[in-house]
Amino acid sequence: MAMARAHGAFLLQLLAAGLQVVALAATVTVTQTDDPRCRPSLPRRGAIAVYPSDMEQLQFLLNPKFVEAEWFLHAALGRGIDYLDRNLSAGGPAPVGARKANLDFRTTEIAAELGYQEVGHIRAITQANGGFPRPPIDLSADRFAAIMDDAMGARLDPPFDAYNGTVNFLLASYILPHVTAAAAVGISPNLMGYASKRLHASVLAVEAGQDAVIRMLLYQRADETVAPYKGRTVAEFTRRISDWRNDLSGCGAKDEGVKVLDRHQGAERRTISNILGAGVDSLGYQRTPAEALRILYGSRNEQVPGGFLPQGANGTIARGFVQLA
Ligand SMILES: *[C@@H]1O[C@H](CO)[C@@H](O)[C@H](O)[C@H]1NC(C)=O
Ligand SMILES: *[C@@H]1O[C@H](CO)[C@@H](O)[C@H](O)[C@H]1NC(C)=O
Ligand SMILES: *[C@@H]1O[C@H](CO)[C@@H](O)[C@H](O)[C@H]1NC(C)=O
């Protein structure tokens, strides 16, 4: 009996020691950041971090990102980039028409998170590649209302108010990150430096996630009517906004709503749900800078500014189009 008890105590000691080892191991993996297995593989000898030509490509993304940052932050908080970091705008004018949206608590949290993410991306891109002043940005309710009328092929009555209610806010948000993500995919073959590729992948990972979050929230409401527009569902709005983007950009079908009408448009041609809008083999669509600008300008023409960017986007690529005009 005593023997058995001693044996039991020994086992307990062993167990405790084992747990300590496990605990120690856990501490070690968490704290030891100089573990070579935690470091990304070193670039090959002589590899260049950032090529001069990378800079204008990554800078191009600052344009949609300024628009998104101001949209999400104002919708959530009633104030934008300047409230967080005076330097990021580099003296560019404050956006016009942006204001706090009438959102439920969860959606406010989500909008704020997405807005802060954009601020981080603007900072990271600017620090690595240089930047330019925030371009003039128009986020007025009238701007969104005009887009929705155009997309729906009808004059919505009352005019669509992007700031009035969670569903309206999500539908307005649907317009932006999908284009930015596709533009980010589009520039990828042009990047050559290893630091540029790393930054690009990290930015794209989060941008695509933002698009997925918005699309998922809309998919959950896909069959609901968008009040007060009788018979017009959330799914139909997303389909028509996607068609509108395809139409404006003029480069074929690269965009579908969150719920498609034909299974052949879904993943492996088998789904009606289309939460992650993608092409054949579920590969994300790519858009050129020109296509992205045709949509952001709402003009079908990368040489004709308008829409969210009334004076045009900035940086070498976007200014180059205007100089050609
Ligand atoms: C903004 O720029 C000024 C001057 O270069 C600098 O002192 C300050 O720390 C910067 N602020 C932020 C938030 O980066
Ligand atoms: C673009 O940036 C330059 C400075 O780099 C500035 O002078 C110009 O006003 C900006 N244009 C727009 C449309 O933001
Ligand atoms: C805002 O939305 C509510 C509920 O959908 C609606 O009753 C109201 O008329 C809307 N207000 C405006 C100004 O569009």
Q: Which amino acid is it at 24?
A: L
Decide if 54 contacts 317 (C-beta within 8 A). Answer: no
Residue where the block lists tokens 């709503």: 257
- Contact 153 CB / ligand 3 (< 6 Å): no
What's the pLDDT score for residue 13? 52
Q: Does residue 187 lie within any of the structural domains?
A: yes
For ligand 1, the distance from its centroid to the CA atom of residue 123, given in whole angstroms, is 12
Q: Does residue 87 lie within any of the structural domains?
A: yes
Q: Output the 3-class SS for the chain.
A: CHHHHHHHHHHHHHHHHHHHHHHHHHHHHHHCCCCHHHCCCCCCCCCCCCCHHHHHHHHHCHHHHHHHHHHHHHHHHCCCHHHHCCCCCCCCCCCECCCCCECCHHHHHHHHHHHHHHHHHHHHHHHHHCCCCCCCCECCHHHHHHHHHHHHCCCCCCCCCCCECHHHHHHHHHCCHHHHHHHHHHHHHHCCCHHHHHHHHHHHHHHHHHHHHHHHHHHCCCCCECCCCCCCEHHHHHHHHHHHHHHHHCCCCCCCCCECCCHHHCHHHCCCECCCCCCHHHCCCCCCHHHHHHHHHCCCCCCCCECCECCCCCCHHHHHHHHHC
What's the pLDDT score for residue 169? 98
Residue where the block lists tokens 């999500």: 170
Decide if 76 contacts 44 (C-beta within 8 A). Answer: no
In tens digits, the chain (325 residues) has pLDDT values of: 444 454 555 444 544 444 444 444 444 445 567 888 888 888 899 999 999 999 999 999 999 999 999 999 999 999 999 999 999 999 999 999 999 999 999 999 999 999 999 999 999 999 999 999 999 999 999 999 999 999 999 999 999 999 999 999 999 999 999 999 999 999 999 999 999 999 999 999 999 999 999 999 999 999 999 999 999 999 999 999 999 999 999 999 999 999 998 888 899 998 999 999 999 999 999 999 999 999 999 999 999 999 999 999 999 999 999 887 6
249-274 exposure pattern, b = at least 16 Cβ within 10 A, e = fewer: beeeebbbbbbbeeeebbeeeeeeeb
Q: Whose CA is nearest to atom 1 of ligand 2?
A: 314
Q: Which amino acid is it at 131?
A: G
Q: Does residue 1 lie within any of the structural domains?
A: no
- Contact 285 CB / ligand 2 (< 6 Å): no
Counting from 1 in the atom list of ligand 3, the atom nearest the Cα of 228 is 5
Decide if 100 contacts 75 (C-beta within 8 A). Answer: yes
Ligand 1 lining (C-beta closer than 6 Å): 85, 87
* Residue 178 CA from chain centroid, whole number: 7
Rounded Cα distance between 173 and 163, Å, is 10
* Residue 139 CA from chain centroid, whole number: 17
Q: Does residue 6 lie within any of the structural domains?
A: no
- Contact 165 CB / ligand 3 (< 6 Å): yes
Q: Does residue 316 lie within any of the structural domains?
A: yes
For ligand 2, the distance from its centroid to the CA atom of residue 298, given in whole angstroms, is 20
Which residues form the domain of 75?
Answer: 49-324
Q: Does residue 288 lie within any of the structural domains?
A: yes
Residue where the block lists tokens 């919708």: 75
Q: Does residue 262 lie within any of the structural domains?
A: yes
What's the pLDDT score for residue 7? 53
Which numbered ligand comes closest to the C-alpha of 59? 2
Q: Whose CA is nearest to atom 1 of ligand 1?
A: 87
Decide if 295 contacts 282 (C-beta within 8 A). Answer: no
For ligand 2, the distance from its centroid to the CA atom of residue 133, given in whole angstroms, is 6
Task: Tell me the CA distances in angstroms from 9 to 16, 17, 18, 20, 118, one per residue in order.
Answer: 10, 12, 14, 16, 57
Q: Does residue 14 lie within any of the structural domains?
A: no
Residue where the block lists tokens 């747990």: 19
| Number of independent structural domains in the chain | 1
